[in-house]
């Protein structure tokens, strides 16, 4: 049996590794995998030997929580309250304890009643009352930290628990000595160490929880693409039913503009289907009887009937949702250096403290002094620098990125980016603009006249090729048309100023017995450049060609050149055909091409490269890119792309400028260099 359990309270890689190790050793557990980023544990077990309740009970004994629904919003609210409480008490605590230590005569004033020199006992007691609420709101650090030590898997919480506990215990001892008249101990209070460390770590935990809370947004948005209902034909009746009630074999009616509810095959009618949500390609695909159609795609202009073949979890959209979930859930978080160090640091420091205190006790026979030595070592080792060196560098790196329109979602993405060996770019909307534009007008008459006639004819069309032509002619006056006829998947026919205008593809020209003559060679050249030729005929005679294509962004070639100079291999992946892919790749300066790749196969292609030990970045903008963005070691989304792509990615380029890809990698390299120095 396989179950997924949501775990709360994990703070670092050591936590997830500890849970994985302990649950994995339980009798009956075959396999256990814990993902820190998604806070999910996937566990396979033999239900005859153990059960889910026993597994959850063991997790709780380790100091973590188990939830079956997403309680992230509640957790974030609780953390915010704890953070506010800790800050409210930490600021005056820091003022009282260290205000008098400022250099250059800037000593901050204190009332005589709690002044270090006039009332040392009140000075200590005031700090106790300010430290107590902070340690109360940070109680989880002590529970998790000391349990981690007990189970021999110390983590960052263990350092915090031991260091702050030692600081508080020794400070209480010093307060006792002050009460006995030994006022020199007023200089040996470390309450602010405990209070400020807990406040700072709670700040980090709150920011981390907010970031993790967004993990499921991509899945929610993908699910939102499915229509809620569909019109099913039963006998002579048309009935609107929820899509969950659609069965394999049902006949479904889709009107123009409607979204397809499930996968199936067209049995009646012709239309053009916008499949960009799945393939990323901007050009609609013509569909006739016998052609396959897919859930979440949009029916552009024709009325069709189709037979349902894949419903529920079997649809292509559902498979993409599953791929995003699996990729997010299986991606191993990058081990943070502080956590790796803490695994050795905590036991080593503890051993040093014990050895030092025993040594001094043997030498002096003074138990109080030996205890002072023991706690002093732990206080000195309290992880101020260790805990802050990495987050401060990451804050600086992500801040610098944000200033330049590069949004880096946390330290893991920032750390992973500097290791990238191969960057794979999606074609449509990433390397290219993502929408068709007129690129060439070839004719034997005035170009503006041909464009005016074509745009006037196409103004009644909803096809993206027609829309591109109308947009190109926005500065020209459009002419009145009559007798407009649309040939689905082929083109249009109308009358303008008494002349018959036919605009469409080669199929329509052949059907209308229009010879393209000398334009044949130009047509082949345009197709070889990845452009779509539209033929314009006037009164059954060919008048010219208007070519439409998804043009390459101005920044693409320069960005790819920079990446190549940095020693990073660049590839392009697309669902488009080989001819178009090669034409775009040539313009962008890319030699490695993966063409006619389906959405689920994009993630598989990345998996293959990862299996070779390569570190992969994926750059994309569409819903179809979401599984690949989640699967890659670093997913980079274009800011002008879909919300789902941006949620699935680790880095978002807000300016939609591909030059920001090498810039993001440079920021990563500089930040990691700083972290190592720290």
Here the CATH number for the domain that contains residue 275 is 2.70.150.10
Question: How far apart are the C-alpha atoms of 676 and 674, rounded to whole Å?
Answer: 5
Of the three residues 283, 318, 353, the one that is the final residue of a domain is 318
Verify whether residue 250 is a known catalytic residue: no
Asked if 420 and 558 sit in the same domain, the reply is: yes
Higher pLDDT, 168 or 649: 168
Model confidence at 332, in pLDDT bands (50, 70, 90)? very low
pLDDT at res. 215? 47
Task: Check whether 635 has a pLDDT greater than 80.
Answer: yes
* Co-location of 538 and 577 in the same domain: no
| Confidence check: pLDDT of 327 > 90 | no
pLDDT of residue 82: 94
What pLDDT shows up at residue 335?
39
Per-residue pLDDT, averaged over 43-64, amounts to 87
Mean of the per-residue pLDDT values of the chain: 82
Where is average pLDDT lowest: 183-187, 407-411, 463-467, 592-596? 407-411
The proportion of the chain whose per-residue pLDDT surpasses 70, expressed as a percent, equals: 85
- Find the range with the poorest average confidence among 304-318, 328-342, 435-449, 540-554: 328-342
Express each pLDDT in 232-288 by its tens digit.
998 888 899 998 889 999 999 999 888 999 999 999 998 888 877 766 666 678 888
- Range with lowest mean pLDDT among 276-280, 321-325, 353-357, 518-522: 321-325
Do 66 and 79 reside in the same domain of the chain? Answer: no
Q: How far apart are CA 532 and CA 523, in angstroms?
A: 9
Whether residue 445 is found in the same domain as residue 537: yes
Number of domains in the chain: 5
Determine the structural domain holding residue 32 and report its residue range: 2-70
Asked if the model's pLDDT at residue 387 lies above 70, the reply is no
With 0-12 CB in 10 A as exposed, 13-18 as middle and 19+ as buried, what is 64?
buried
The answer to whether residue 390 is domain-embedded is no
Tell whether 398 is covered by a domain: no
For 339-354, write each residue's pLDDT tens digit: 566 567 778 888 898 8
Q: Are strands 237-242 and 304-310 parallel, antiparallel or unpaired?
A: unpaired
Kindly give the pairing relationship between strand 229-234 and strand 482-487. Answer: unpaired
Residue 527 belongs to a domain with what CATH number?
3.40.1110.10
In a shared domain, residues 635 and 566: yes
Q: For residues 56 and 9, state if they share a domain.
A: yes
Name 438's bridge partners: 548
Q: Is 488 left (phi over 0), alpha (psi -120 to 50) or beta?
A: beta
Is residue 491 pLDDT above 70, yes or no?
A: yes
Residue 103: which residues within 8 A CB-CB, separation 6 or more? none
Q: What is the mean pLDDT of residues 387-396?
A: 63
In a domain, 197, yes or no: yes
**pLDDT reading at 89 higher than 60:** yes
Q: What is the mean pLDDT of residues 585-596?
A: 88
- Using the predicted structure, report yes or no on whether residue 428 has a pLDDT greater than 70: yes
559: CATH: 3.40.50.1000
| Positive or negative: CA dihedral 530, 536, 540, 543 | negative
Residue 135 reports pLDDT greater than 90: yes
Tell me, what's the pLDDT at 200?
A: 84
Residue 379 has pLDDT above 70, yes or no: no
The percent of residues in the chain predicted with pLDDT above 90, rounded, is 28
- Domain identity same for 575 and 506: no
User: 146: exposed, middle or buried (C-beta count within 10 Å: 0-12, 13-18, 19+)?
Assistant: middle
- DSSP-based three-state secondary structure for 8: strand
Q: What is the mean pLDDT of residues 566-589?
A: 86
The 10s digit of each residue's pLDDT in 202-242 is 887 787 666 555 545 555 666 777 788 999 998 888 899 99
Same domain assignment for residues 494 and 602 = no
Q: Is residue 389 part of a domain?
A: no
How does DSSP assign 366-394, residue by residue?
-HHHHHHHHHHHHHHTSSHHHHHHHHHHH
Q: Is 203 exposed, middle or buried (0-12, 13-18, 19+ CB in 10 A)?
A: middle
53 has a pLDDT exceeding 80? yes
Rounded Cα distance between 192 and 102, Å, is: 15
**Distance of alpha carbon 81 from alpha carbon 420, whole angstroms:** 39
pLDDT average, residue stretch 106-112? 81
* Inside any domain, residue 293: yes
Q: Identify which has the larger pLDDT, 629 or 372.
A: 629
- 208 and 305 together in one domain: no
d(CA 476, CA 415) in angstroms, rounded, equals 53
Query: Which one, of 218, 201, 188, 241, lies nearest residue 38 by Cα?
Result: 218
- Interior angle at CA 656, CA 653 and CA 659, nearest 5: 80
pLDDT tens digit sequence for 452-462: 999 999 887 76
- Are 91 and 209 contained in the same domain? yes
Q: Is 208 found in the same domain as 352?
A: yes
Pairwise CA distance, residues 456 & 473, whole Å: 9
Calculate mean pLDDT across residues 561-588. Answer: 87
Same domain, 194 and 86: yes
Could you say which of 157, 263, 274, 426 is catalytic?
A: 426
């Amino acid at each position: 049996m396989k179950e997924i359990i949501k775990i709360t309270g994990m703070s670092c890689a050591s936590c997830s590794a500890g849970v994985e190790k302990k649950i994995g050793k339980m009798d009956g557990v075959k396999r256990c995998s814990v993902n820190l980023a998604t806070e999910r544990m996937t566990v396979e077990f033999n239900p005859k030997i153990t059960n889910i309740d026993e597994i959850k009970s063991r997790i709780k004994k380790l100091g973590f929580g188990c939830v079956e629904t997403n309680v992230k919003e509640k957790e974030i609210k609780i953390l915010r309250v704890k953070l506010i409480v800790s800050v409210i008490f930490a600021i005056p605590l820091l003022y009282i304890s260290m205000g008098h230590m400022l250099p250059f005569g800037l000593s901050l004033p204190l009332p005589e009643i709690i002044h270090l020199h006039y009332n040392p006992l009140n000075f200590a007691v005031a700090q106790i009352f300010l430290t107590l609420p902070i340690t109360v709101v940070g109680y989880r650090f002590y529970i998790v930290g000391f349990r981690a030590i007990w189970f021999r898997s110390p983590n960052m919480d263990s350092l915090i628990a031991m260091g702050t506990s030692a600081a508080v215990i020794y400070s209480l001892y010093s307060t006792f000595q002050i009460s006995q008249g030994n006022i020199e101990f007023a200089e040996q209070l470390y309450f602010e160490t405990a209070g400020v460390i807990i406040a700072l770590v709670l700040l980090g935990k709150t920011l981390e929880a907010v970031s993790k809370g967004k993990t499921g947004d991509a899945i929610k948005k993908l699910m939102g693409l499915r229509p809620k209902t569909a019109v099913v034909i039963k006998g002579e009746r048309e009935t609107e039913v929820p899509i969950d009630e659609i069965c394999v074999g049902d006949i479904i009616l889709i009107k123009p503009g409607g979204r397809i509810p499930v996968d199936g095959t067209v049995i009646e009618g012709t239309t053009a289907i916008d499949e960009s949500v799945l393939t990323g390609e901007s050009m609609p695909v013509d569909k006739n009887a016998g052609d396959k159609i897919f859930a979440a795609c949009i029916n552009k202009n024709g009325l069709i009937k189709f037979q349902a073949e894949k419903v529920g979890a079997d649809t292509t959209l559902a498979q993409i949702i599953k791929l995003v979930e699996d990729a997010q859930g299986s991606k191993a978080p990058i081990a943070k250096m502080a956590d790796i160090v803490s695994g050795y640091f905590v036991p080593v420091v503890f051993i040093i403290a014990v050895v030092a205190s025993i040594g001094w006790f043997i030498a002096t026979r003074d138990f109080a002094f030996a205890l002072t030595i023991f706690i002093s070592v732990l206080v000195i080792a309290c992880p101020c620098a260790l805990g802050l060196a990495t987050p401060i560098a990451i804050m600086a790196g992500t801040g610098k990125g944000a200033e330049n329109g590069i949004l880096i979602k946390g330290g893991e993405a920032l750390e992973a980016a500097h290791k990238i060996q191969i960057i794979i770019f999606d074609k449509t909307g990433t390397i290219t603009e993502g929408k068709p534009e007129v690129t060439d007008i070839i004719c034997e008459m005035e170009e503006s006249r041909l464009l005016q006639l074509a745009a006037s004819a196409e103004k009644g069309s909803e096809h993206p090729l027609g829309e591109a032509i109308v947009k190109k002619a926005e500065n020209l006056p459009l002419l009145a048309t009559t007798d407009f006829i649309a040939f689905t998947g082929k083109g249009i026919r109308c009358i303008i100023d008494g002349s018959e205008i036919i605009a469409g593809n080669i199929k329509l020209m052949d059907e209308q017995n229009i010879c393209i003559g000398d334009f044949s060679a130009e047509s082949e050249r345009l197709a070889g450049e990845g452009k779509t030729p539209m033929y314009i005929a006037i009164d059954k005679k060919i008048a010219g060609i208007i070519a439409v294509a998804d043009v390459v962004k101005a920044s693409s070639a320069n960005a790819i050149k920079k990446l190549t100079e940095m020693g990073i291999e660049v590839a392009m992946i697309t669902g488009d055909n080989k001819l178009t892919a090669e034409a775009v790749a040539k313009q962008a300066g890319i030699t490695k091409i993966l063409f006619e790749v389906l959405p689920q196969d994009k993630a598989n292609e990345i998996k293959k490269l990862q299996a070779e030990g390569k570190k992969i970045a994926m750059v994309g903008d569409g819903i179809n890119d979401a599984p690949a963005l989640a699967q890659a070691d670093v997913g980079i989304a274009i800011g002008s792309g879909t919300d789902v792509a941006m949620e699935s990615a680790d880095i978002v380029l807000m300016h939609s400028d591909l030059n920001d890809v090498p810039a993001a990698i440079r920021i990563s390299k500089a930040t990691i260099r700083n972290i190592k120095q720290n």
